[in-house]
Amino acid sequence: MVGRFRWAAMFPDEVWEHVFSFLTSDADRNAAALVCRNWNRIERRSRKRVFVGNCYSVAPTVAVRLFPEVRAAVIKGKPHFADFNLVPSDWGGGAEAWVEAMAEGWPNLEELRFKRMVVSDDCLDLIARSFKNFKVLSLVSCDGFSTSGLAAIAANCRNLRELNLRESEVEETCLNWISHFPESCTSLVALDIACLEGEVNASILERLISRCSNIMTLRLNHSVPLERLVGLLQRAPQLMDLGTGKFSARHNPQLFSRLESAIAGCKNLRNLSGFWEPGLTYLPAVYSICEGLTSLNLNYATIQNPELVKLISRCKNLRRLLVMDLIEDSGLVAVASSCKLLQELRVFPSDPYDAAEPVSLTEQGLVAVSAGCPMLHSVLYFCRQMTNAALLTVAKNRPNLTCFRLCIIEPRTPDYVTQEPLDTGFSAIVESCKDLRRLSVSGLLTDLVFKSIGASANYLEMLSIAFAGDGDMGLHYILSGCKNLRKLEIRDCPFGDKPLLQNASKLETMRSLWMSSCSVTLGACRQLARAMPRLNVEVINESGRGPLVAQPDNCPVEKLYIYRTIAGPRTDTPQCVWTI
Amino acid sequence: MELELGLALPSSDLMMEKSTFCKKRRFDEVLDENTVTLPLFMQREEDSDSDRGFERSSEELNFGGGRVIVGWPPVKLSRRRTSCVKVNMEGIAIGRKVDLSLHDSYQALFLTLYTMFPKKQHEEEDGGYNSYKVTYEDEEGDWMLVGDVPWEAFIKSAKRLKIITC
């Protein structure tokens, strides 16, 4: 056995390191690390980028020790359903332990990306002081910090290239944090502050942008008025990615033409977003660069037809479109004929809670785009009605789908023509789309659809289920099938203890499982935790029934989060969370 | 309780001009055919008399016709897409909509509500508005009393309003 791998020892470590440096994907490096002990040692010692999909899957100090040469780290915290307020705000995902370990063991860290983590101002302060060559800070869907923390980053990170706060919640404690970027700062390439609620001093921003001649991405928040946008664009005509601030102003032809020419001057513009409170009179100012756009995000823009369609139809080279359901079926038909290169489409509900909303966005729009856009592979679609026939058509048109997330707003809505469950429709999707990686199902669904998913969705990595299924078999089909499943999130389904216990070992092959408002009991959690020491079984009960340890086995579990880990039970659980 | 003269004609509403987005909805509401039962203000959690074991706590009946489910539909609330929220008043079948971003304080909001639901709709009550409370549903699905949190925090988290009798 030893002889077979002697060739690995023929070359000095540095040679293998150099070879491994050509492996860019984490999966490839992971595979190389499993070949033999030598390769494992050499690979991990030379690894520059590390991805931690669950911050609790490994202890920070262990990760830092195992991979001493890391320059870029991505760490993710809370479960996805935290985005929809299903996870208690004090659940965890704190970044301190990670930042402290990194400050200690990775002094040469250059890039840090957190997602759904709670990052305090102290953390930001520590980051600002600890890494001499810090270049990239990305806080996506994070919270726990304020603009004071941002001021520390601005002031101390001399070589900061990227500051990205996408969809984070930031307290406003320091009014002029932008002014903390020193005059000597010229390194900024990307700045995304669209999520900030407060005022951003546009004059200071203008001066900052002026001296950062390499700025490529600038996403403003709603406080930056149209008048100031002109100045910013004039100083950064090389921009590739622009998020506007407020996109309306009093009717002013001079402002319009200044804006129009400033935008036209940005010949490299590929990504456009923002459009807070859009005024129809100013929309045509962006027409000149529409044809060059590859990505358009109108997620927050309450523009209706016909102006909305007029804008999008000009964007003939669009790869990615995010839009509200104000586009309606007719608008999507126009997209299908204008945007032939479209790869990703997301349609969001403009009025998600209004049950009596008359709708002109139906399954027809989705079918139209599936027919007209041959490169479409990623779909997120909110609507209020669906048919199996439509889903079958989509499946037939687009076997290249890799991501299909359909949300029919009213739970358990059947096929509105036949009144049947949507089993056949979703089954067609998984059977036809052999490369499907991500799927969200909705509407009226029985266990049958899960049988199809379990059997056919061989590359599925993430599955979201809500208000679906008849009983335990539904979950059993999924857990006993779906060979590549990594993340499973379920809410309000009649799935109970049996499928969990029957498929306990499956759970160790996945990153995580979330189940809320299902039929799982405490007893099953206890059994599972006993049988699977490398899983953390976290039970969340917010109704204050008293300590879980005293509850009987048949006590129902409100929310359950199970994830694999080599770090053992975590020590920062709040009152409502119990690691069994 | 039959429909009272709560069918205030939209044209008389001061808010009409300011928010075209709200305007579009109001006609639909006036012509709404949803039969609405007497709205019941339901207490959430701490429902000690109904210890019925495992209940689907994530669904609740709402006045105004729709069901309210926590975290559904799965949209991120961190950025409000429209600042209009529905307002219902106990005993009045037709709801209204108010644009929170057009107000800068609780006082301003209460003034608007007073205009939307004029006193003659509930003449039987004495003490005028002292016998009413305004509540709101926050992003976590809990019903809170309007006025407890700072105004900025309120407009970020309020999903809908309900005026109830004390």
User: What's the rounded mean pLDDT across residues A195-224?
Assistant: 95
Residue A87 has pLDDT above 90, yes or no: yes
pLDDT higher than 60, residue B57: no
Pairwise CA distance, residues B55 & A474, whole Å? 21
pLDDT of residue B17: 33
> What's the pLDDT at A4?
59
Percent of chain A surpassing pLDDT 90? 87
Q: Report the pLDDT value the prediction gives residue A250, as an integer from 0 to 100.
A: 86
Q: Answer yes or no: do A409 and B73 touch at CB < 8 A.
A: yes
Taking the CA atoms of residue B160, residue B163, residue B165 and residue B166 in that order, the dihedral angle to the nearest 10 degrees is: 70
Nearest residue to A366 via CA among A328, A318, A420: A328
**For chains A and B, what is the number of CB pairs under 8 angstroms?**
89
Q: How confident is the model at residue A243 (pLDDT cuts 50, 70, 90)?
A: very high
Nearest by CB to A84, which of B74, B159, B160? B74
pTM over cut 0.80: yes
Average the pLDDT over B157-163 and give the result: 87
- Is residue A428 within 8 Å of residue A453, measured between CB atoms? no
Q: Which DSSP letter does residue A559 get?
A: E
d(CA B69, CA B60): 7
Which phi and psi angles does A541 have, rounded to 5°?
-130, 110
Q: How far apart are CA B160 and CA A434, in angstroms?
A: 43
What pLDDT, on a 0 to 100 scale, did the predictor assign at position A107? Answer: 97
pLDDT in tens, A89-139: 999 999 999 999 999 999 999 999 999 999 999 999 999 999 999 999 999
The predicted model gives A219-248 an average pLDDT of 96
**Percent residues over pLDDT 70 in chain A:** 97
pLDDT at B83 (0 to 100) = 67
Specify the pLDDT at position A543: 79
Res. B36: pLDDT tops 60: no
Q: How far apart are alpha carbons A48 and A460 in whole angstroms?
A: 28
**CB contacts, 8 Å: A139 with chain B:** none
Mean pLDDT along residues B33-46: 34
pLDDT digits (tens, 9 = 90+) for A33-53: 999 888 899 999 999 999 999
pLDDT over 90 (residue A368): yes
Cβ atoms A52, A117 nearer than 8 A: no
Question: 3-state DSSP call for residue A370?
Answer: helix
Contact A85 B66 (CB under 8 A): no
pLDDT of residue A471: 96
Q: Which two three-digit tokens encode residue A560? A: 């359950």
Cβ distance A167 to B78 less than 8 Å, yes or no, reads yes
- Which residues of A make CB contacts under 8 Å with B? 81, 83-86, 141, 167, 169, 195, 197, 299-300, 302, 324, 348-358, 382, 407, 409, 411, 464, 466, 491-492, 516-517, 519, 543, 556, 558
Using a CB-CB cut-off of 8 Å, the residues of chain B touching A516 are: 58
SS3 content of chain B, % helix, strand, coil (to 5): 30, 20, 55
The answer to whether A354 contacts B65, with C-beta atoms less than 8 Å apart, is no
Exposed (0-12), middle (13-18) or buried (19+): which is A446, by Cβ within 10 Å?
middle
* Cβ atoms < 10 Å from Cβ of B5: 9
Say yes or no to pLDDT of A329 above 60: yes
Checking if the pLDDT of B56 tops 60, the result is: no
Share the mean pLDDT of chain B. 62
CA gap A505, A332 in Å, rounded: 44
In this prediction, residue A5 carries a pLDDT of 58
Over residues A470-498, the mean pLDDT reads 98
The one-character DSSP state at A345 is: E
pLDDT score at B40? 33
pLDDT of residue B90: 87
B79 and A300 within 8 Å at the Cβ level: the answer is yes
Contact call for B75 and A349, based on CB within 8 A: yes
* Residue A12 confidence (pLDDT) above 90: no
- Put simply, the answer to whether B78 touches A85 (Cβ < 8 Å) is no
Give the model's confidence band at A353: pLDDT under 50 very low, under 70 low, under 90 confident, else very high: confident
Q: What's the distance, Cα to Cα, between the start and end of chain B in Å?
A: 18
Angle of CA points A170, A175, A177, to nearest 5°: 75
Substitution target in B19, B43, B54 with the highest count of A β-carbons within 10 Å is B54
B52 to chain A, any CB pair closer than 8 A? The answer is no
In this prediction, residue A547 carries a pLDDT of 79
Say yes or no for a CB contact (<8 Å) between A86 and B70. yes
Does B74 contact A407 at a Cβ distance shorter than 8 Å?
A: yes
Q: Which residue of A has its CA nearest to B65?
A: A355
Q: For residue B102, which residues of chain A lie inside 8 Å, CB to CB?
A: none
Task: Kindly report which listed range (A251-255, A309-313, A350-354, B10-14) carries the lowest average pLDDT score.
Answer: B10-14
Chain A residue numbers touching B156 (CB-CB < 8 A): 197
Q: Is the backbone of residue A451 left (phi > 0), alpha (psi -120 to 50) or beta?
A: alpha
Does the distance separating the beta carbons of B159 and A81 come in below 8 Å? no
pLDDT at residue A334 greater than cutoff 80: yes
Among A167, A169, A355, whose Cβ lies nearest the Cβ of B65?
A: A355
pLDDT of amino acid A390: 98
Mean of the per-residue pLDDT values of chain A: 95
Cβ distance B65 to A466 less than 8 Å, yes or no, reads: no
Interface test with B, best of A85, A168, A520 (most B CBs within 10 A): A85
Kindly report, residue by residue over B105-134, the tens digit of the pLDDT: 898 898 888 888 876 555 555 555 567 889
- Give the residue on B whose Cα is nearest the Cα of A556: B54
The tens digit of pLDDT for each residue in A531-561 reads 999 999 999 988 776 777 889 999 999 999 9
For residues B64 and A7, the model is more confident at A7
Q: Which two tokens stand for residue A186?
A: 């010229």
Name the nearest CA neighbour of A57 among A83, A30, A75, A31: A75
| Better-predicted residue by pLDDT, B113 or B3 | B113
What pLDDT does B66 receive? 46
Q: Looking at residue A549, what DSSP letter applies?
A: G
Q: ipTM score here?
A: 0.89
Question: H-helix or E-strand containing A171?
Answer: strand A170-171
Taken in order A396, A398, A399, A405, the sign of the CA dihedral is negative
Chain B CB contacts of A141 below 8 Å: 76, 78
Q: How confident is the model at residue A359 (pLDDT cuts 50, 70, 90)?
A: low
